[in-house]
Amino acid sequence: MPLPIATVTPVTAPLTGRVTLPGSKSVTNRALLVAGLARGTSRLTGILRSDDTKYMMAALRAMGVKITEVDDTTVEVHGTGTLSPAAEPLFLGNAGTATRFLTAAVALVNGETIVTGDEHMQKRPIEPLLDTLRAMGVDATSETGCPPVIVRGTGAFHSGDIEVSGKLSSQYISAIMMLAAMGDGETCITIGGGQIGAVGYLHITAAVMRAFGATVEFPTANTIVVQPGGYTATAYPVEPDASAATYLWAMEKLTGGNIDIGIAPDGMNQPDAKAYDMITAFPHMPSVINGSQMQDAIPTLAVLAAFNETPVRFTGIENLRVKECDRIEAVHAGLTAIRADLATVEGDDLVVQGDPSLAGQISDCLIDSYADHRIAMSFALAALMVHGVRIEDPYCVNKTFPSYWDVLRGLGVSVDITQP
């Protein structure tokens, strides 16, 4: 079936204005799950309303958690400290955080739970998480190594020591961390290989857990210790999304504008806020950027780098291959669609050939977003500067930033979305 196409008219003046960012997806889905496992009523403010968080709320409701929607950014979550068996499989679309977090959490259900998603999610690997759960005594299986997953829970979780690979997605480790607080004793998680790449996301998980009364410590670089005791309901504010902020910061630099997002980068705890330093260096970005600690910001930085004065090599980004799509290949494909020599892939590194003269040129190309919100939003940056760049499946931004195209329009950008 043909998909909608977004055509963005390049701008001729600096973009200025004020933008209200959506809440952080990473924090919202962690807070929803922990509040659902807590005893009592929690009030979450500033949450993100998107496809991913809607799937998480629907799954929690299916397992007996009452969620009252107060307004567009506020919910009250009424938890009992337990999860009940769901009558149907938990369908989570292409929501990676929800799928991975719940695959671990449903070990607390006394009965069988099926965790599944759409055609894209059913291609995303989850076997390493299942291996870890099985090592912890959880009955978890998958025929393909991807969703759907079957977890046969016992209503309890038995704690202990567990070693996990440092090559795993940080979401797998976060899933184990949040489950561990519900155990019957101390859980010590040792990360094989010394450390995990996206360690900042583990500290986000720990911060949310602590806000709900859990005790989490990082005694060494490769050890996480979680104490038992579960979670206690609380009022919790979700901070704005740093990944979403990267698009606005990049628009500022590309157009010489001034966009007020209401929060400074150092006011955000999310790893992607580190991308601010790379963005403000434009058009003299570093020749090598290690993306391991700001993975969701890499598509933004890579598209920005296309207009940099010198080439930029992105390293430490191998985990981008198992996101909503293979983001290394998706960004490479998009950049080379704009100009054939604009980027190369070397192993798991992405090399972008910067060229300031690219701005103002014409490139009649259709960018395949691969149904990936970050690809669509990042290539909108290129479309601001290069004539003829169009983006396929633009509504995939609903995953984390449903108002994205309206935000661009509010800044004075002409965005035309045509239906097939």
Binding site feature residues: 25-26, 30, 96, 124, 169-171, 296, 319, 323, 327, 374, 399
Q: Which residue has 């979450």 as its token pair?
A: 44
As annotated, the active-site residues are: 296
The binding site for 3-phosphoshikimate consists of 25-26, 30, 169-171, 296, 319, 323
The number of helices, as runs of H, and strands, as runs of E, in the chain is 12, 22
The burial of 406, by beta-carbon neighbours within 10 Å (0-12 exposed, 13-18 middle, 19 or more buried), is given as: exposed
* CA distance linking residue 391 with residue 334, whole number of Å: 10
Residues 6+ apart with CB under 8 A from 71: none
The burial of 401, by beta-carbon neighbours within 10 Å (0-12 exposed, 13-18 middle, 19 or more buried), is given as: buried
DSSP state of 184: S
* CA distance linking residue 246 with residue 145, whole number of Å: 33
Residues 6+ apart with CB under 8 A from 270: 24, 26, 27, 200, 204, 239, 241, 242, 243
Q: How many residues does the chain have?
A: 420
Residues 6+ apart with CB under 8 A from 3: 392, 393, 420
Closest CA to 381 of 251, 272, 260: 251
DSSP state of 232: B
Cα dihedral 365, 301, 173, 102 sign = negative
Would you say 126 and 146 are in contact if contact means Cβ atoms under 8 Å apart? yes
Cα dihedral 37, 42, 44, 50 sign = positive
DSSP states along 73-110: TEEEEEEES--PPPSS-EE-TT-HHHHHHHHHHGGGSE
